[in-house]
Structure 1
Amino acid sequence: MPEHSSEDLSESSTGVTVKPVVNAIRILRFLTASGSPARAADIARELAINPSTCFNTLRTLVAEEMLDFDPLSKTYTTGLGLAKLVEQLVTQGQRLEIVRPLMQEFAAAHHVTVTLWRRMGNDRIVLVSSETSPGDLRIDMAIGQRLPLLMGASGRLFTARLGLDEERLRAVFDKVRWARSLGYEEYRRQVADASTNGWSVDDGYFSAGILAVAAPVNDRAGAIAYAVSAVTFRGQHGDAEIGKLGQSLCRTAAKVGNILF
């Protein structure tokens, strides 16, 4: 395993930070905020970065098209690659706004809260959108909330596509805290049911008293990128109703995928 000096890695409240990455982000923020060209020496002095380190970071950012370099003035400005990256993020946000009416329609029709979860890395899902049913007792969930990848109805969908071997999956499962007692074999059965049905259920394991049904939102390559979930109180739906809810949610998830991708 490679060693890192204290100059490369530092501890923060959220874990380990990598100094070169932090320096690159600070440089991008500085040039974006200033809006004017700047020389390497000025950037290094302003940000208190070692001049040699700053120069190498700038060269890397230019190579990745995040920055542009003017050889005549020897100055750096934000590049086309950064603009394209920002444009993609804005476009994704705009698409999420277009998805909201679909979620609102489903929430009103089925008297549920509808949530949209996005996979973040290999171990987390994050809530990116939530719509409640008007006039009903509401279940509010905070945007930006993060959960372990395996958790909730959405987690069972992602788990089915992870391709983890049994040892790794069991190790990840054992770290999750469930609101109701849930054995590993029973969880595996629920994941298998999700694969067969095309939708999944969490019956109070994520949160006591809450039932969630989820359907996958696939990208153009057929990989699951999001999961849309219908959240309601336990005991209000029988098995047949839950099945119909799951099937209806799958149709909505397909429409969401057509918008996002």
Structure 2
Amino acid sequence: MTRDSNTENPRVPSVDRALKILELVSENEMPLGVNAIARTLTISPSSCFTILKTLVQNSYLTSDAATKTYTLGPKAMTFAIKALELRRPFEIAEDVMKRIASKRSVAACVLWRLRPDNHLMVVGTVSGGKGVSIQLDAGHTLPLLIGATGRCAAADLNLAPEQIKDYLSGAQWDNPPPMDAYIEDVERARVDGWAFDQGNFLQGVTTIAVPIPAGDSKLQYCLSVALFGENFSQEFISDLATDLKKAAKKIGTRLFSS
């Protein structure tokens, strides 16, 4: 149900093997030797040893000379800690997201982070738990101004029409909205404090998004919900947006209160 923001590229075998080695080592509590790793991943011992040596040299793995086994190294640990830090806002927001997702039986409630590279990144997702749901993996990215969340971001960031056109050039939609209509949506979102997308980004899916208040700081996070269908009444959408704004306010207080 999602459009991948990454193009398909051929896999690089050596990189693929290195990643599988890191995954295997991280999943095992006990240190692993080269033969055990090679056997599990069906890699030749010589190739496996060469990759292990490179990972050790770059601090992704640590080797024990006495037992000739390998464990995660300091650089891998640094990545893990950073990932947990990025996940922390979702842990703070999750119970609020679950309540609105359950109350409204939405296909998904998503916490988004605005990245410096002009992309939206999924921090975490919950579903209403009834029927078919939409699952977005943490780390999934989309162009900054795409969909309801994009309109919401454009409104809060006070982007001029010319900037909006530049950001949206090349963006992929199922049913691209006319630029004038999109800009009108942004202006409306600036006044109302929420935005919605009915089948533009993903055909058959309606999304509603709000900014998460960050006090005097610039916009960092948005909250959105997605529902299957495109024929919802304006009253239904407005009521859901009101609930979403209340949820975003609670989350903002938790994230940014001193």
User: What's the TM-score, normalizing by structure 1?
Assistant: 0.64
What's the counterpart of residue 227 of structure 2? 232
What's the counterpart of residue 94 of structure 2? 100
What's the counterpart of residue 155 of structure 2? 160
Q: Tell me, in whole angstroms, the C-alpha distance in 1 between the residues paired with 2:81 and 2:199.
A: 39
What's the counterpart of residue 252 of structure 1? 247
What's the counterpart of residue 29 of structure 2? none
**Could you report, residue by residue, the CA deviation over 1:146-189 in whole angstroms, capped at 9, with x for unpaired residues?**
11101011111111133444333222223212211311110000
Q: For residue 247 of structure 1, report the CA deviation from its aligned partner.
A: 0.8
Q: Where does the alignment leave 5 or more consecutive residues of structure 1 unmatched?
A: 1-12, 14-28, 35-77
Q: For residue 89 of structure 1, report the CA deviation from its aligned partner.
A: 6.8
Structure 2: which amino acid aligns with 1:204?
Answer: G
What's the counterpart of residue 136 of structure 2? 141
**Greater RCO, 1 or 2 (C-alpha within 8 Å, sep 6+):** 2
Count how many residue pairs are aligned between Structure 1 and Structure 2: 195
The equivalences for 1:33-72 within 5 A come to: none
Q: Tell me, in whole angstroms, the C-alpha distance in 2 between the residues paired with 1:137 and 1:159.
A: 30
Structure 2: which amino acid aligns with 1:96?
Answer: F
Moved more, 159-168 or 235-244: 159-168
Q: Tell me, in whole angstroms, the C-alpha distance in 2 between the residues paired with 1:162 and 1:94.
A: 24
Moved more, 108-117 or 134-143: 134-143
What's the counterpart of residue 195 of structure 1? 190
**Could you report, residue by residue, the CA deviation over 1:187-240 in whole angstroms, capped at 9, with x for unpaired residues?**
000001111111110111110000000111122324221110010012452110
Partner secondary structure for residue 200 of structure 2: coil
Structure 1: which amino acid aligns with 2:88?
Answer: Q
What's the counterpart of residue 179 of structure 1? 174
The structure 2 residue matched to 1:207, chosen from 195, 202, 205, is 202
What's the counterpart of residue 123 of structure 2? 128
Partner secondary structure for residue 218 of structure 1: coil
Q: Tell me, in whole angstroms, the C-alpha distance in 2 between the residues paired with 1:220 and 1:238.
A: 32
Q: Tell me, in whole angstroms, the C-alpha distance in 2 between the residues paired with 1:215 and 1:239.
A: 16
Q: Tell me, in whole angstroms, the C-alpha distance in 1 between the residues paired with 2:197 and 2:219.
A: 18
What's the counterpart of residue 70 of structure 1? none
Q: Tell me, in whole angstroms, the C-alpha distance in 2 between the residues paired with 1:92 and 1:164.
A: 26
User: What's the TM-score, normalizing by structure 2?
Assistant: 0.65
What's the counterpart of residue 5 of structure 2? none
**Could you report, residue by residue, the CA deviation over 1:25-45 in whole angstroms, capped at 9, with x for unpaired residues?**
xxxx957976xxxxxxxxxxx
The structure 1 residue matched to 2:164, chosen from 161, 169, 173, is 169
Q: For residue 91 of structure 1, report the CA deviation from its aligned partner.
A: 5.1
Partner secondary structure for residue 108 of structure 1: helix
Q: Tell me, in whole angstroms, the C-alpha distance in 1 between the residues paired with 2:159 and 2:81.
A: 34
Q: For residue 87 of structure 1, report the CA deviation from its aligned partner.
A: 7.5
Identical columns (%):
25
The structure 2 residue matched to 1:116, chosen from 111, 115, 140, is 111
Partner secondary structure for residue 135 of structure 1: coil
Q: Tell me, in whole angstroms, the C-alpha distance in 2 between the residues paired with 1:164 and 1:228.
A: 19
Partner secondary structure for residue 134 of structure 1: coil
8 Å contact kept, 1:173–1:184: no
**Could you report, residue by residue, the CA deviation over 1:89-115 in whole angstroms, capped at 9, with x for unpaired residues?**
745533421311111111110010101
Partner secondary structure for residue 212 of structure 2: strand
Residues 205 and 86 of structure 1, relative CA distance in 2, 3 Å threshold: same
Structure 1: which amino acid aligns with 2:170?
Answer: K
Let me know the Cα RMSD of the aligned residues.
Answer: 3.2
Residues 90 and 181 of structure 1, relative CA distance in 2, 3 Å threshold: closer
8 Å contact kept, 1:117–1:127: yes
